Amino acid sequence: MKKAVIAFSGGQDSTTCLVQALPEFDEVHCMTFDYGQRHKQEIKVAEAVVKELGATSHKIMNVSLLNELTSSSLTCDNIPVSHELQENGLPNSFVPGRNILFLTLTCIYAYQLGAETVITGLCEIDFSGYPDCRNDFVQAINKALVLGMDHQLEIRTPLMWLNKAETWALADKLNKFEYIRDNTLTCYHGVIGSGCGDCSACKLRQKGLNSYINKKCNNIMQ
């Protein structure tokens, strides 16, 4: 029996990964993380999406301990989400260690379930500059976790080399374009669908959406 576990946020990327995985695996389990995020609404959205799309199970992990070690505009309401980069060259929405923790816990859960595939929507092409979204990072932590658990495990990143327009195209190919557009949450301020329109996550998502729609319209007209 083929089993997969998805690190699932209820956003555009992880939902696209879920839709793609469902027909491929006998069981698809989702894991969502509560880390005290500003956009906590994403947990409720993730629950709704998993229920509607029909994943095998959905586990919500409380990892608020992350906030005892670090601070970010995504986890502290008193830190406004800024469009400016910090002195270290990273946006203040970067949560150090977040994806290290998320992938480690997801892989531990996969081990427990007997799954050999972990799926994440991380992407290096269109992203906010977070170092833990890069392919080198994923490959390194994948190797470390296989060695540390002595369990053959593949961390898949179906969107790693896709820009946002191509991710929208994939959603359309999977016949879930409108669903993902209207029911997922990417916005750092917790606004479902088109979002607040101002945060970097919303701007990246909308830019990709506009690019895909324009390209699709041009193809139809030709």
Annotated binding site for Zn(2+): 187, 196, 199, 202
Cβ-in-10-Å burial (0-12, 13-18, 19+) of 206 comes to middle
* CA distance linking residue 146 with residue 28, whole number of Å: 20
Annotated binding-site residue numbers: 8-18, 187, 196, 199, 202
* CA distance linking residue 28 with residue 21, whole number of Å: 7
Determine contact, residues 70/95, Cβ cutoff 8 Å: yes
Cα dihedral 146, 2, 177, 7 sign: negative
82-93 burial string, b = 16+ CB within 10 Å, else e?
Answer: eeeeeeeeebbb
Say how far residue 144 (Cα) sits from the centre of its chain. 21
Annotated binding-site residue numbers for ATP: 8-18
Alpha helices in the chain (DSSP H): 12-21, 41-53, 98-113, 135-149, 164-173, 177-183, 200-221
Residue type, 94: F
